[in-house]
Amino acid sequence: MASEKQNTEIRQEQIAVAALKIIGRHGTRALNVVRIAGIVGLVPSAIYRHFGGKDDVIDAVLELVRKRLRANVAAVAAESRDPLEALRLLVDRHITFLCENDGVSTLIFSDQVYSGPKKRKVRIYGVINDYLQEITKLVRDGQEKLFIRSDLEPAAIAVMLLGLVQSPAILWHLSEGTFAVQSQTEQAWQVFERAIRGN
């Protein structure tokens, strides 16, 4: 019944993806090595061939999230013609990302965060800050090109944008998909855009 041998790098990737999937579907509490191993097709102890322990796996998941967030920003920057449109596209992508991976929200608040090494909290803050930083760049760019009012701090706009999406996402997955996340985000974006658009 032995699984085929795989390179550690591949396994690490598989394990991180599996972990994120578990967190998304069943919450961080359901994240245990048995389940992870099950998805990857390994025996629990095999996990320790590729990671020092559960904590390291969680760190890997965080890096995965960081990558995907970065990829989203890069994508919208490429697709759009102006920064304001880019922000709108980012809102769409971000909400989709959060809805498809409930785990992202839960991981950030997870007890795993607070129980783990203190570095954990710092690391999560870093991931979010990275993301905010990139959004801030978009905003600043929009201000320079006069698409966005320049009497507002770019960083503050970025945080607002995050909040715009976060609440609907929470409500969506608490409501088991009942909450009209699409409509809510749509309206919120319009209000938001009117408030920040350059005159």
30 counts as binding DNA under rule CB under 7 A: yes
Distance, in Å, from the CA atom of 168 to the CA atom of 95, rounded to the nearest integer, reads 8
- With contact defined as beta carbons under 8 Å apart, do 64 and 109 qualify? no
- With contact defined as beta carbons under 8 Å apart, do 84 and 148 qualify? yes
Size of the residue set binding DNA (CB under 7 A) = 26
Distance, in Å, from the CA atom of 144 to the CA atom of 84, rounded to the nearest integer, reads 12
Q: Which does 14 bind (CB under 5 to 8 A by kind): DNA, a copy of itself, none?
A: none
- With contact defined as beta carbons under 8 Å apart, do 131 and 120 qualify? no
- What contacts 24+ positions apart, CB below 8 Å, involve 164-168? 164/91, 164/188, 164/189, 164/192, 165/91, 165/94, 165/95, 165/98, 166/98, 166/105, 168/95
21 counts as binding DNA under rule CB under 7 A: no
Q: Which is nearer to a copy of itself, 41 or 53 (CB)?
A: 53
Report which secondary-structure segment, H or E, holds 62.
helix 54-79
Q: Which of 2, 78, 122, 191 binds DNA (CB under 7 A)?
A: 2
CB of 14 to a copy of itself, least distance (A): 23
198 counts as binding DNA under rule CB under 7 A: no
Q: Which does 171 bind (CB under 5 to 8 A by kind): DNA, a copy of itself, none?
A: a copy of itself
Q: Which is nearer to a copy of itself, 50 or 184 (CB)?
A: 184
Region from 27-35, 85-93, 123-131, 167-175 binding DNA, contact rule CB under 7 A: 27-35
Residues in contact with a copy of itself by CB under 8 A are: 26-30, 105-106, 108-115, 121, 124-125, 128, 152-153, 156-157, 159-160, 162-168, 170-171, 174-176, 183-184, 187-188, 191-192, 194-196
Q: Which of 23, 50, 87, 88 binds DNA (CB under 7 A)?
A: 50
Site for DNA in 166-195 (CB under 7 A): none
Rg of the chain in Å (alpha carbons): 19
Distance, in Å, from the CA atom of 12 to the CA atom of 28, rounded to the nearest integer, reads 19
The binding site for DNA (CB under 7 A) comprises 1-8, 11, 30-34, 42-50, 53-55
